[in-house]
Structure 1
């Protein structure tokens, strides 16, 4: 019987990539627990730091129902990490905006990771950065092939 999977040779780079993927899946759970947040609340803050969103947009970004998203927003508002405001362009709509407290929560928890990543990136020369980016973009493409 012929295998549909091409020859696969384990390597130290594939081992490191697998470790990164596994750790990336675990980090949000650990960070959320340290902050006393749910993983959905942490992911919501991450999205909201990037840009205010309407509740329906946030639900889509989280992959949850509008009702579930509304509950997440309620909890973030109660903690002072987010606010509901009239949409800037359409006063009939509501948007959720991260507060300074929410922004500080995310950055305080993730700052050590970002600092270490910047240090690692800074240790690369331009040629090394090109190779690493090509490898990571290839890994992203491989993962997207199964989503």
Structure 2
């Protein structure tokens, strides 16, 4: 071991691998590749897909969308224009402030995205249904704590 290795490097080198942690690492790696693959299939950019996911959750003003995407307002406007042209979103008057607009996901946009996600949802639902209540409790505890551990990086 070289003298320039600190305690973090030594800790990682001494880490005791387990099948569970290896499976979690593979899941995280696979999850990171899903967005770009879905964007390609849907013929969207990764940022357009991300915008569509955000407005599926809730209507957003263009400025809010820009902040969530980490882009300028002008860039967000271009993204929204492209999604509108594809019929995935529409601009509507803001529900509480008529001076503003809200970007809203259309039924067609939702169906397109959900169509790409359905194989995953079906597989995960079948897996969940195969678990006993005791197994589900352990898996839930593990996933909740794993999410907290990974979330510390954000």
Normalised-by-shorter TM-score class: over 0.9
2:104 aligns with 97
Moved more, 75-84 or 48-57: 48-57
1:25-67 deviation line (CA, Å, top 9, x unaligned): 1001111101100111111111111111111111222222222
1:3-25 deviation line (CA, Å, top 9, x unaligned): 34375210111111111111111
2:91 aligns with 84
Unaligned runs of 5+ in 1: none
Match of 1:55 among 53, 62, 72: 62
Cα RMSD for the two superposed structures: 1.6
* Alpha-carbon shift at residue 79 of structure 1 (Å): 0.6
Whole-Å Cα distance in 2 between the matches of residues 40 and 129 of structure 1? 34
* Alpha-carbon shift at residue 81 of structure 1 (Å): 0.7
Whole-Å Cα distance in 2 between the matches of residues 129 and 56 of structure 1? 40
Unaligned runs of 5+ in 2: none
After superposition, residues 1-147 of structure 1 pair within 5 angstroms as 3-4=7-8, 5=11, 8-147=15-154
Give the TM-score normalised by structure 1. Answer: 0.93
Give the TM-score normalised by structure 2. Answer: 0.89
Whole-Å Cα distance in 1 between the matches of residues 129 and 70 of structure 2? 35
* Alpha-carbon shift at residue 100 of structure 1 (Å): 1.3
Whole-Å Cα distance in 2 between the matches of residues 82 and 37 of structure 1? 13
* Alpha-carbon shift at residue 139 of structure 1 (Å): 1.2
Answer with 1 or 2: which has the greater Rg.
Answer: 2
Whole-Å Cα distance in 2 between the matches of residues 77 and 67 of structure 1? 15
Number of residue pairs aligned between Structure 1 and Structure 2: 147
Instruction: Give the 4+ runs in structure 1 shifted more than 6 A.
Output: none
